[in-house]
Amino acid sequence: MENKMVHIINHPLVQHKLTILRDKNTGSKQFRELVSEIALLMCYESTRDLPLMDVQIETPIATATTKVLAGKKMAIVPILRAGLGMVDGMVNLIPSVRIGHIGMYRDPETHKPVDYYCKLPSDLGERDVYVLDPMLATGGSAVDAIARIKEFHPKRIKFMCIIAAPEGLKTLTEAHPDVEVYCAGLDDHLNEHCYIVPGLGDAGDRIFGTK
């Protein structure tokens, strides 16, 4: 049955950019640019439901009643490292957004997340929070990061990734059924190293040119 909390962004621009992103011949500079551009386009799609309110302004011609964002308190929380690549794209569209950081890496043996850093805006309880990480593989990192954020009781949480594996999506939506998930590609499966197939490889390494 279709899960209304999961959104696949199948906009042609996003899908085109995602193909170039996946290509193993795409270098770090272009990879970074594409992650940022896809994040910007996903930001546009995932903020469609922001509430608006009427204001009155003077145009050079007349008085007009027009719309502005109502209660636009938002925060983004990239999961380090790879989530950092999505920050610019979000900030380009929402310049006043607050930014928290959660540091996590996957243990190479167990594939379980190990957290090493957490600094979040203290007023998270008044905000909508967008959690950013390009890859949702087993879902362990996303589940733990969101649990951490929930301790602050934010108004709403959305999780934005570029590629998701079915395994990770199931784990995340079962652990946090109240969190809306946005992704650009839903892939086939995880391999024996818990990498997404076909995926794009190691997102952090490709963004930062490590390895």
Q: Using CB under 6 A as the criterion, what x/- string covers residues 75-94 for binding ligand PRP?
A: ----xxxx------------
- 8 A C-beta contact, residue 4 and residue 178: no
If one asks whether residue 141 binds ligand PRP (CB under 6 A), the answer comes out as yes
The DSSP 8-state label assigned to residue 61 in this structure reads S
How far apart are CB 178 and ligand URA at their closest, in Å? 24
Strands 52-58, 101-106: pairing is unpaired
Pick from 181, 195, 208, 210: which binds ligand URA (CB under 6 A)? Answer: 195
Pick from 128, 133, 180, 187: which binds ligand PRP (CB under 6 A)? Answer: 133
Q: Using CB under 6 A as the criterion, what x/- string covers residues 109-148 for binding ligand URA?
A: --------------------------x-x-----------
Helices 140-150/166-175 angle, 10° precision: 20
* Residue 136 binding result from ligand PRP, ligand URA, none, given CB thresholds of 5 to 8 Å by partner type: ligand PRP
Which residues within the stretch 34-53 sit at the binding site for ligand URA (CB under 6 A)?
none
Q: Using alpha carbons, select from 21, 141, 22 the residue that is nearest to residue 81.
A: 141
66: burial class by Cβ within 10 Å (0-12, 13-18, 19+)? exposed
How far apart are CB 73 and ligand URA at their closest, in Å? 31
Pick from 202, 207, 208, 209: which binds ligand URA (CB under 6 A)? Answer: 202
**For residue 100, what are the CA distances in angstroms to 20, 78, 87, 97, 198?**
29, 7, 11, 10, 30
If one asks whether residue 98 binds ligand PRP (CB under 6 A), the answer comes out as no
Q: Give the Cα separation of 107 and 128 in Å (integer).
A: 30
Residues that bind ligand PRP (CB under 6 A): 79-82, 104-106, 111, 113, 133-142, 168, 194, 202-204
